[in-house]
Amino acid sequence: MTTILQDESLRTTVALASAEASVSGSDTVLPAHVFLALLKIIDGVFQEDARRAGVSGEGIAAAEGIASEGRALLGLSEEQLTTLRRTVRRTVRPGESSRVMRPVQYSLSVTGVFDEAARRAIAESRTELSAIDLLRVLVLHPPRDIAMFLSGGEPVLQPRREAIPTRMPVDFGLPVRNLTALARERRLAPVVGRRKELKALARYLQRTTKRNVMLIGEAGVGKTAVVEGLAQLLTAQDAPEFLRSMCIVQVEVGDLVSGTRHRGDMEERLRRLLDAASTDPNLVLFLDEIHLVMRAGAGDGALDVANLLKPSLASSEFRCIGATTVEEFERHIRGDAAFLRRFQILRIGEPSEQDSVEMCRTWARRIEDVQQVVIEQEAIEAAVALSARLIRNRSLPDKAIDLLENAAAAARISSLSFGVTTLTKEHPRIGRREIEAALHEQHGVSPAAATLDSGIVTKALQAAIVGQDAAVAAISRVVGTLRHRPSGRVGPLGVLLFTGADHVGKTFTAELLSDALFGRPVGRFQLGAFSDRHDISRLIGAAPGFIGHDRSGTLFQFTERNPQGLILLSSWNKADPVVQDYFFQIFETGEGTDSRGRRTDFRPYLFVITVDVISRGILVDRAIGFGAKEQITLEESEVLAAHAGRDILCRVDGVIPFRTLTELDYRELLTRRLEALAQELRARAAIALRISDAALEHLFRACVDERKGPRSFFGELDRLLVAPIYAQLQASNASNRIHVDVAEGDLVFAG
């Protein structure tokens, strides 16, 4: 009787088959377990299981040596081999696998396979059996439990995806979105550009291990669009074979948790998803908002989704794409190094304005089809340019597309005529004007304000300001210069420095300037209240961990309510240097950072700084770029630097001096106030107001106090004249006229 020995490769196969039978809960080793062990060896994924089963290094090396011969015997590509192995494994392990190793014995069918292999070896005058002998018997004479995988000695495989199927390849047990099917049906928006990102994404997915990619980018830059672009690339006729076989499926993290009421429901649902994804080597899971997995499902005695995902993410049989924002990545994912190391990082930046125009042009065609409008090229270019310049804290192309969508919807609705049954048949046209209207309605931003029209400024200031003709002319000149500044310049719209004594109209002028340019109230910050370095927390917000850290500072509260406007910094010289340095950063970069590290764009804002200092004749116009001119003496510069600091002088676009009002100026103020009062009385009560010359002189002497300025002047005027007039109007015997005169040093009012 001839003795047949087992070589190391066969011993390794037997150990793997026994371990597979034990793990799957079977009492005996079946031919399917042996077949699965052989497929693992040929596919090169058996080493870890072999070590766990106690196989020596020699046995592992011997098994690796028969892999190429086994692959040639089966005649399968790598992808086909992996698909067959996973199909057999899914059949062998239909339920929950046991992790308890227990002794098993050979079934009669396995014994028959060994006997047939031994007879063949004896017929060939060999005294040693190898794993290849078992594989040859299983392929040529398959037992019943593996006959389903073989037909006529050839492996039965799933058909290769020459075209992406519209049906889901596997059952996930929860709602999913098949992006490749949608791409084939042309239901995804075309993706413009992003060639570099698409190549990198495809390259990462073709790795042999850790084939997972995390897309990181600001909200609205197009992370999901990149994944949809890859899905469209898979369906192209000229796509490479290895790409056409992929199927990208989007899964919502919330669907894993929603509806789970009992302990273990979420884990079971996730396990089904991972098993389904692992059985198909061509399947790619897309998890948008992947930061949600970090604590999803966590609770008493429960594991969060991230920890359940980690083993699969490290497997070569699993592919995944995740997407998240920069802020959420830093907050939730950065701290978990074990989770992060399983991903390849692909950062998605904001596209350029030129690329955004192309993206919006493609999107505009879809809007036209749905809204039945015509979007002109100038509207697309305006949407990109205006949104890039005036919309903060959002990214292209999302914010430009929003403008196009809103403008189109507004134009469509405007064609409705309530009460009339017929509608216009002509498609509304969307141009730059409609984009500007949508920008103003949605964000409260006026593009005209950013143009800094000096003519409007001059007209508004001259109509309301008395005695500051030189200051008005200087402001108009500086505003006109800022309008033509270089496009590449960073920083806010401009920084003006108003100098002069108290109560000369600096704040009033800033309020008028804000109303003329932006049509909104000024944002006033009295820097005298920020004289301590710690006071900056009230301006930018409390530091993390302190009371109020979850609320924005006063400066950022203003910017949140007003996307553009004028910011008045009163009493600059009284602020702490820390506060001044913070504003220097804004003046230089056009950006400010709050206590939580969030950036705010200050480019749409005009800053006005006031310094209470008397400096006659100061007039500095800092021209943009070369050729800057200065009309200021050394003595005046020293006086101003002593009050405001030298650093501020090189950061402002213009120094505007305000002179002290004279007696003639106050007489002009009195005349204008009385004319306004007379017009108000005629409009409200049809009453004629007449004031004698003696009463005018009495009012002037009683109201004017040059030390207190115009505010005190108007306050005294209201007390002495306006209040008594309205008190007389409330009397029952009021006539249709009021005469004001002086008697015994007091004003008298007669009807």
pLDDT given at position 303:
52
Bridge-based pairing of strands 150-151 and 154-155 is antiparallel
pLDDT given at position 189:
84
pLDDT given at position 149:
67
pLDDT at residue 342 is higher than 90? yes
- The two tokens of residue 40 are 């693992």
pLDDT given at position 624:
38
Bridge-based pairing of strands 283-288 and 247-251 is parallel
Averaged pLDDT, 517-533: 90
pLDDT given at position 109:
80
Which of these ranges, 297-301, 400-404, 508-512, has the smallest mean pLDDT?
297-301
pLDDT given at position 583:
94
Identify each DSSP E strand in 394-518 by its residue range: 429-430, 494-500
Per-residue model confidence as pLDDT tens digits over 174-231:
778 899 989 988 888 888 889 899 999 999 998 888 899 999 999 989 999 999 999 9
Which of these ranges, 161-170, 236-245, 323-332, has the smallest mean pLDDT?
161-170
pLDDT at residue 353 is higher than 50? yes
Give the residue from 414, 433, 411 showing the smallest Cα distance to 367. 411
Per-residue model confidence as pLDDT tens digits over 239-259:
777 777 788 999 988 787 777
- The two tokens of residue 125 are 């005058």
Say which residues have a Cβ less than 8 Å from residue 360's Cβ, sequence separation at least 6.
380, 383, 384, 397, 400, 401, 404
DSSP characters over 344-370 = EEEE-PPPPHHHHHHHHHHHHHHHHHH
Give the homologous superfamily in CATH for domain 5-155.
Answer: Clp, N-terminal domain (1.10.1780.10)
Averaged pLDDT, 552-560: 90
φ/ψ (deg, to 5) at 247: -135, 115
Averaged pLDDT, 456-475: 89
Averaged pLDDT, 574-581: 91
pLDDT given at position 151:
56
pLDDT at residue 394 is higher than 80? yes
What does the mean pLDDT of the chain come to? 82
Query: What's the rounded Cα separation, in Å, for the pair 71 and 155?
Result: 12
Query: What's the rounded Cα separation, in Å, for the pair 236 and 662?
Result: 80
Starting at the earlier edge strand, list the strands of the sheet with 620-621.
523-526, 565-570, 605-612, 494-500, 654-658, 620-621
Give me the long-range contacts of 110-117 (CB less than 8 A, separation at least 24). Answer: 110/17, 110/28, 110/29, 110/30, 110/31, 110/33, 110/34, 112/143, 113/31, 113/34, 113/137, 113/138, 113/143, 116/141
Fold of the CATH domain 176-347: Rossmann fold (3.40.50)
3-state secondary structure at position 46:
coil
pLDDT at residue 362 is higher than 60? yes
pLDDT given at position 625:
35
Q: Which residue has the tokens 């073989």?
A: 150
Fold of the CATH domain 450-658: Rossmann fold (3.40.50)
Identify the H or E element spanning 592.
strand 591-593
- For the chain, the structural domain boundaries read 5-155, 176-347, 353-416+425-443, 450-658, 663-750
Same fold, 5-155 and 663-750: no
Cα distances (Å, whole numbers) of residue 690 to 137, 730, 733 = 122, 18, 18
Helices and strands counted in the chain (H then E):
34, 25
Starting at the earlier edge strand, list the strands of the sheet with 688-691.
688-691, 737-743, 746-750
Cα 598 to the center of its chain, rounded Å: 12
Cα distances (Å, whole numbers) of residue 105 to 143, 144, 279 = 17, 19, 28
User: Residue 532 corresponds to which amino acid?
Assistant: D
Averaged pLDDT, 278-292: 86
- Does residue 635 or residue 642 have the better pLDDT? 642
Q: List the beta bridge partners of residue 418.
A: none
pLDDT at residue 284 is higher than 60? yes
Averaged pLDDT, 288-301: 71
pLDDT given at position 217:
94
Per-residue model confidence as pLDDT tens digits over 153-164:
555 554 333 343
pLDDT at residue 379 is higher than 90? yes
Fold of the CATH domain 663-750: Helicase, Ruva Protein; domain 3 (1.10.8)
- Give the right CATH number for 353-416+425-443 from 2.60.120.650, 3.30.1360.30, 1.10.8.60, 1.10.1740.110: 1.10.8.60
Structure pTM? 0.63
Cα distances (Å, whole numbers) of residue 2 to 111, 132, 180, 515 = 18, 20, 59, 107
